[in-house]
Structure 1
Amino acid sequence: MVSRRHILRIGGGLLAGLALPRLPLAAEAVEIQMQGNADGSQVWFNPIGLRIKPGQTIRWVNLDPGNSHTATAYHPKNFERPLRIPEGAEPWNSDYLLPNESFSVTLKDEGVYDFFCVPHEHAGMVGRIIVGEPDRSSIDSGPAQAAGGEPIPEIALRAFPSVDEIMRRGIVRPA
């Protein structure tokens, strides 16, 4: 027979367990929208600059009804582009995302990750993600040209938000 005292002990233990702080089961995903104006003459990522924790997931979502877009890391494995992600980090390429499609990647290595949209890099559709607390002495914007590769267009180079601005604000939206 179960005593009243036993039931109270079990109930009290359950209540105490509910009061404990909960750790998140997985790092919260952060969304970057792919957007464009109605006539397709301007395209952009929103946000264009972002700071996250190591192990967080980024999800790009194409909200542009008139264009397909990619989220592609600057890396020699991606169309012989210059290395503009941490050395040893895994590069990504979403392939073409149609309107309302999405792509996700989890970034574990601390550092600066630059990415671009393959068909719209020449329109300045680029972005920058900072993961964790990168070593400030090793931060630079990376090379603008890979050996034997095509240089990054000047409009794209000008579009990147500065590392300092992202570190200060945490998130940078397009102007």
Structure 2
Amino acid sequence: MPSRRHVLRIGGGLLAGLAWYRPSLAGEPVEIRMQGKADGSHVWFDPVGLHVQPGQTIRWVNRDPGNSHTATAYHPNNFERPLRIPEGAEPWNSDYLLPNEAFSVMLRVEGVYDFFCIPHEHAGMVGRIVVGHPGSRPSGGSAAQALPDIALQAFPSIDEIMQRGTVRRT
């Protein structure tokens, strides 16, 4: 028959193990909403900044009843846009999503992923996803110069995303 001390030691070890264990959320999609004012005067992604783990699925949903939107990675394969996703990561382009339509991608490569809405990039409709612990950051210089100023100003900082996990701006 085990002693009371032995049972408590085993129970304590199990509780400590459960407290340490964190199940992976990689199977649960994270939603980014495409939104806009009814009069079309302002459009945005919500959240605009997001921190996720490798293997996480991101799902963009158009919640703007008055506009079509895209979720498009900054990559030379997408309209010769500058590379602003990690080297070796797969670029994506949702094509135009009508209201209530959705598009998903799974991000496997650690790093910083910048994306935009094709018809609304010049209105600052951009977003940033940080996957894991980024070793590389979006390139500056000519890649930054190829983006509209309003888009560059709309990206939340990587540090803010890492600290907060989710950055919302409306």
| Other-structure match for 1:152 | 147
3-state SS in 2 of match to 1:50:
strand
Provide TM-score, normalisation by structure 2. 0.82
- 1:33–1:45 contact (8 Å) kept in structure 2: yes
| Other-structure match for 1:42 | 42
- 1:84–1:143 contact (8 Å) kept in structure 2: no
Q: Which amino acid aligns with 2:139?
A: G
- 1:51–1:167 contact (8 Å) kept in structure 2: yes
Q: Which amino acid aligns with 1:166?
A: I
Residues 131 and 68 of structure 1: CA distance in aligned 2, closer, same or farther (over 3 Å): same
- 1:62–1:101 contact (8 Å) kept in structure 2: yes
| Other-structure match for 2:169 | 174
3-state SS in 2 of match to 1:158:
helix
- The Cα of 1:144 is off from its aligned counterpart by 6.0
| Other-structure match for 2:62 | 62
- 2:27–2:57 contact (8 Å) kept in structure 1: yes
Identity %: 74
Q: State how far apart, in whole Å, the 1-side matches of 2:83 and 2:31 are.
A: 24
Q: State how far apart, in whole Å, the 2-side matches of 1:169 and 1:111 are.
A: 17
- The Cα of 1:40 is off from its aligned counterpart by 0.4
- 1:144–1:152 contact (8 Å) kept in structure 2: no
Q: Which amino acid aligns with 1:153?
A: P
Q: Larger Rg: 1 or 2?
A: 1
- Unaligned runs of at least 5 residues, structure 1: 1-19
Is 1:108 paired with 2:108? Answer: yes
- 2:26–2:57 contact (8 Å) kept in structure 1: no
Aligned mate of 2:139, from 111, 119, 142: 142
| Other-structure match for 2:11 | none
| Other-structure match for 2:13 | none
Residues 143 and 22 of structure 1: CA distance in aligned 2, closer, same or farther (over 3 Å): closer
Instruction: Give the number of equivalent residue pairs.
Output: 150
Q: State how far apart, in whole Å, the 1-side matches of 2:24 and 2:109 are.
A: 20
Indicate the RMSD between aligned Cα atoms, in angstroms: 2.0
Large movers: runs of 4+ above 3 Å: 20-26, 143-146
User: Which deviations, in whole Å up to 9, do the C-alpha atoms of 1:20-54 show, x marking residues without a partner?
Assistant: 99956952100000000010010000000000010
Q: Which amino acid aligns with 1:61?
A: V
- The Cα of 1:143 is off from its aligned counterpart by 3.6
